Amino acid sequence: MGAITIQDVRVITTQPAGARLVVVKVITSEPGLYGVGCATFTQRFHAVVTAIEKHLKPFLLGRDVSRIEEIYRMATVHSYWRNGPVLNNAISGVDQALWDIKGKLAGMPVYDLLGGKCREAAAVYGHAGGRTPEEVLESVYRFRERGYRYIRVQLGPYGGRPSKSVRPEGAPEGAYYDPREYMRNTLRMLEYVRNAVGDEVELLHDVHERLHPIDAVLFAKEVERFRLFFLEDPLAPEDLEWFENIRQQCATPIAMGELFNHPREWQPLIAGRLIDFIRMHVSQMGGITPARHVAAFAHMYGVRTAWHGPGDTSPVGHAANLHLDLWAPNFGVQEWCGFPDHVYEIFPGLPEVRDGYMYPNDRPGLGIDVNEELAARFPCRDEVEFWTQARLPDGSPARP
């Protein structure tokens, strides 16, 4: 058999459950053989679609599908400027699709291509929330009833809702929050929930980079007594040097990485043992190829994986996460958002979660597909995001 080559690259956009999703379909010269990958950057999905259709596709046509590493390397430098979220997501869609194709050709799941299973399923965590500590606890109990042992707890939206809003005259609209009030309220919530559930539930919390660096150091120190499984994104990518201050002050486990694009963002944190979990958005970093390299690198330093798995990761992306989870010796936990039934119809093979574990279906490749006809029934809607227009009490723009 001669080389199997890329004959077409198609982009599928759909919005079946809130987030705008981007899925890439790589079609080969072998009749009926194709692969799918996640390229979702929900806030800028038009830009990703254009990058794939106008730039990556002409570059890819006619290339040998077996040369995944080479294609990934060349695609990242072909534009000369590199390591941005739009290009990384575009490349990721192709990269994941090529792994899917390789698995189908081999008759093996992707986790077997990576080196085989280290576990039969991946432990997941769910998102418990509410407007009051009591509502958060009720949400935690509902997850416990479904078998979850790892549960993220959040009081209101990221940064919380300020109890009162004293804005300057003429201050613009936005997603206002008060960092200091958020800290006080969250500490009370964590104390309430921990006292109620005891130590048998692993609690997590996401700061979502809503604090000034010195406040993040204080907050990480204050939550140490609640024995979190991890504290997520206490700092923004622009404040990486502050992780050393956190490490010097407390033993709170730290997870970081969902906004990372460039290796120089994660390499120093891992090599310096300044974080405990690396949780990049696999499509944001460029796909399965760079993710497996990062997981292997992190393993050498005792850092575990906890890949980003929100609703704005497509079901194909969740499948890719699972294959990495099953293989990686340093797997920690997997974020899981859950999907309504109709999304399982659009994406046959979407991994299922039972009793707090996500299970593969053991089909070749990624084990997932997309029904384009059903996906087309849920076209993406153009809208200006509100939650990312975060503002401090005086109206100053803040990181979301």
* CATH code for the domain of 292: 3.20.20.120
The predicted structure's pLDDT at residue 89: 97
Whether residue 229 contacts residue 333, with contact meaning beta carbons closer than 8 Å, is answered with: yes
64 — phi, psi (to 5°)?
Answer: -70, 120
Average pLDDT of the segment spanning 227-242 = 97
Number of domains in the chain: 1
373 domain residue, yes or no: no
Q: Enter the tokens of residue 226.
A: 């609640």
* Of 208, 308, 318, 323, catalytic: 208
* Mean pLDDT of the 253-278 span: 97
378 assigned to some structural domain: no
What confidence score (pLDDT) does residue 125 get?
A: 98
C-alpha–C-alpha distance, residues 73 and 111, integer Å: 21
DSSP secondary structure string, 123-190? EEEEEEEESSHHHHHHHHHHHHHTT-SEEEEEESSTT---SS--PPTTPPP-EE--HHHHHHHHHHHH
- Whether 208 is catalytic is yes
- Does the annotation count 359 as an active-site position? no
Going by the DSSP 8-state scheme, the letter that residue 165 receives in this structure is -
Tell me, yes or no, whether 387 lies in a domain. Answer: no
Q: How confident is the model at residue 86 (pLDDT cuts 50, 70, 90)?
A: very high
Residue 1 is predicted with a pLDDT of 63
272 is a domain residue: yes
Provide the residue count of the chain: 400
156 three-state secondary structure: coil
Question: In the structure encoding, which two tokens stand for residue 137, read together?
Answer: 């606890």
Q: How many CA atoms does the CB half-sphere of 26 hold within 13 Å?
A: 35
* Domain annotation covers residue 20: no
Regarding beta strands 202-206 and 150-155, do their DSSP bridges make them parallel or antiparallel, or are they unpaired? parallel
Tokens of 186: 């969250």
Structural domain that includes position 193: 113-363
- Look up the pTM and report it: 0.96
pLDDT at 398 exceeding the cut of 90? yes
pLDDT surpasses 90 at 163: no
Point out the catalytic residue in the list 150, 158, 176, 357: 158
